[in-house]
């Protein structure tokens, strides 16, 4: 069950481009139509997305940029999962039990591409 949750979570993030999690509001936002043109990559429809590295995923999830993932930040990977499943998965990744996931802990649990 855990493997299917992980596969769904990481697959969904990678397919969605995941970087939306790491984007900060712009100081001077542009009109939506103009902004969309600049942020949309020019890739053919149906083309596979580039796999994201553990570092890229970690950086996108670490919204407060403190170098570790809180349970709330980590939970973004599992938007459709039950809270108890997310908590159990967090506990598996948090090897030292300090209630945060470091980059090393994240890399150890990150699926290999």
One of 1.10.238.10, 3.40.50.1370, 3.30.70.1880, 1.20.1530.20 is the CATH number of 2-21+49-109, namely: 1.10.238.10
**Does pTM top 0.85 for this prediction?**
no
Cα–Cα distances in angstroms (integers) from residue 64 to residues 34, 54, 75, 98, 101, in the given order? 28, 17, 14, 18, 13
Domains of the chain, residue spans = 2-21+49-109
- Rounded distance between C-alpha atoms, residue 92 and residue 104, angstroms: 13
pLDDT per residue over 64-95, tens digit each?
999 999 999 999 988 889 999 999 999 999 99
Q: Where are the alpha helices (DSSP H) in 49-102?
A: 54-61, 71-75, 83-93
pLDDT per residue over 2-48, tens digit each?
555 555 555 555 444 444 444 333 444 444 444 444 444 454 555 55
């Amino acid at each position: 069950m855990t493997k299917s949750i992980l596969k769904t979570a990481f697959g969904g993030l990678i397919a969605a481009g995941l970087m939306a999690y790491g984007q900060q509001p712009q100081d001077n936002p542009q009109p939506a139509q103009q902004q969309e043109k600049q942020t949309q990559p020019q890739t053919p429809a149906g083309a596979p997305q580039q796999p994201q590295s553990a570092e890229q995923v970690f950086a996108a999830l670490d919204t407060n940029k403190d170098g570790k993932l809180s349970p709330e930040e980590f939970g973004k990977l599992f938007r459709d999962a039950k809270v108890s499943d997310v908590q159990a998965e967090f506990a598996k990744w948090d090897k030292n039990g300090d209630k945060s996931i470091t980059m090393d802990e994240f890399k150890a649990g990150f699926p290999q591409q």
